[in-house]
Amino acid sequence: MKVTFKVNGQPRRVDVPGDMPLLWTLRDTLELKGTKFGCGLSQCGACTVHISGAATRSCVTPISACQGADITTIEGLSKDGTHALQRAWEELDVPQCGYCQAGQIMAAAALLAKKPHPSDAEIDDAMQGNLCRCATYLRIRQAIHRAADLQSQAVQAGEPKRLRGSKS
């Protein structure tokens, strides 16, 4: 079926089977490889993207449900990789294998958009669906706190608030 939607601010049109998950449309049709396949069962969160700002499992979201959707992937989280979460992830060198981290960052970005300073418990709760096989959870949690600080510093310094996370 023909579907028109926005990906990272750009209008896109695809013609794929209606039951094809958004994940495979992004990866194999639009060649956006940053969103990962971990299970296809909504169990691991590696495929997390934003639809209208909400963290969504793209592996179980059929493309037929994306007509007119506003989608943000890791590639579009910031223009140049400088979203507070990306900077914090780099600063703390969170990844080991790194495969889950795009999904982790997208889930965390949706959290920070709602809760600029989440507690540990709020982080655990929001991130519970994102698996890291290398178990870098301690650094992910630390990096989310660090990103929250970076964002509030930016706000104090008078920079535009970038809580939405998408398209800086």
Binding site for other proteins (CB under 8 A): 16-17, 19-21, 24, 28-29, 31-41, 43-44, 46, 73-75, 81, 85-86, 89-90, 93-102, 105, 123-125, 127-128, 130-141
| Between 44 and 69, CB nearer to other proteins | 44
Q: How far is the CB of 9 from other proteins (least distance, A)?
A: 15
Nearer to other proteins, 11 or 31 (CB): 31
In terms of CB distance, is 43 or 52 closer to other proteins? 43
Strand partners, 51: 54, 71
Residues 50 and 72 sit within 8 Å (Cβ to Cβ): yes
Residue 102 and residue 46 in contact, taking contact as beta carbons nearer than 8 Å: yes
**Of 40 and 53, which CB lies nearer to other proteins in the complex structure?**
40
d(CA 17, CA 66): 12
Shortest Å, Cβ 158 to other proteins: 26
Q: Could you tell me how many residues make up the chain?
A: 168
* One-letter identity of residue 95: P
Closest approach, Cβ 2 to other proteins, in A, equals 16
Cα four-point dihedral sign 33, 38, 42, 44: negative
